[in-house]
Structures are given as C-alpha cells and as structure tokens.
C-alpha cells in the first residue's frame, strides 16, 4: 500500500535573541550581529504526518492535526519571548535548529505513533529549519 503525507501549516509570532552565555557581550555581538539584540519573527510552522491511506480515505484528520499543533506548540509560543516565557522548550539558545527540534519533541508524543514525519520552521524567507526522518527529503 502506498504511503501518503499530509502537511499542515500554521503561523505564530514570537521574540527571541541569539546569545551564548559562554561568550562576552562583544563576542556575541560580533558572532550574531543584530540577532544578538531582542527581536521578533512571524514564524511558519509546517508539520508533516505520513502513513497509509486509512479506510476513511485520509492519512489523518487535518482538523485534528491542526488542533494538536495549536495545543502542543502554537499556544505555547505565540506572542511570547522564547528565551524567557517558554521554559517548556528547554532549548538553551533559541536558534531555529534548537526550536524545530523542540517542536518535534513536543508533537511526537501527542500524534498517532509513527505518523510524525517532518517538522519545519520558517523563520524568515531566507531561513528554514527541518527536523525528523523526512527532513532530508
């Protein structure tokens, strides 16, 4: 039986800054430039689930996927400072790489087992981060 995929896309706004506690203020500024200062993004979260076509003709209920994404990630981070307001992320520096991995970890246990294939986080039109078994595809 063929494997099918469903990708749901949601948006949220959040603030963060890139600053390593191991570096001085001058070193952080030199390394991260304007991203060292607090700033925000209008993020796009993409979640792909994958599996066989069920008897109901779907891979997964799209409304259920959206509700799960909102409850597990979007409601947690939307209009928050990711560095201070959201300890559940547990990511240290709020790089796109760390955030997308954290979002995957938040979503995986609340979706049907084995269905989560890829989580992507679009930070800007130039920066996209992907995590999961399907990230390289």
List of domains in the chain = 3-131 (3.30.479.10)
The model's pTM: 0.93
Question: Which of the residues 11, 27, 39, 79 is marked catalytic?
Answer: 79
- Chain segment 62-107, per-residue pLDDT in tens: 999 999 999 999 999 999 999 989 988 888 899 999 999 999 999 9
47, 8 in Cβ contact below 8 A? yes
Mean pLDDT over all residues of the chain?
94
Distance CA 103, CA 127 (A): 16
Instruction: Flag whether pLDDT at 137 surpasses 80.
Output: no
Question: Which of the residues 35, 41, 46, 66 is marked catalytic?
Answer: 35
C-alpha distance across the termini of the chain, in Å: 20
Q: How confident is the model at residue 133 (pLDDT cuts 50, 70, 90)?
A: confident
Of 73, 59, 82, residue with least CA distance to 9: 73
Q: How confident is the model at residue 136 (pLDDT cuts 50, 70, 90)?
A: low
Contacts of 52 (CB under 8 A, 6+ apart): 1, 2, 3, 4, 59
Q: Say whether 123 is catalytic.
A: yes
Total H helices, total E strands in the chain = 4, 5
Q: Say whether 35 is catalytic.
A: yes
- Chain segment 16-60, per-residue pLDDT in tens: 999 999 999 999 999 999 999 999 999 999 999 999 988 888 999
């Amino acid at each position: 039986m063929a494997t099918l995929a469903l990708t749901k896309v949601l948006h949220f706004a959040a603030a963060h800054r890139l600053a390593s506690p191991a570096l001085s203020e001058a070193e952080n500024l030199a390394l991260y430039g304007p991203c060292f200062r607090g700033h925000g993004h209008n993020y796009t979260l993409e979640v792909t689930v994958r599996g066989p076509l069920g008897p109901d003709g779907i891979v997964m209920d799209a409304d259920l996927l959206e509700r799960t994404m909102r409850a597990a990630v979007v409601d947690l981070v939307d209009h928050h400072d990711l560095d201070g307001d959201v300890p559940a992320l547990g990511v240290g520096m709020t790089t796109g790489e760390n955030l997308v991995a954290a979002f995957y970890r938040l979503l995986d246990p609340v979706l049907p087992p084995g269905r989560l294939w890829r989580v992507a986080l679009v930070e800007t039109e130039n920066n996209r981060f992907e995590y999961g078994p399907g990230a390289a595809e």
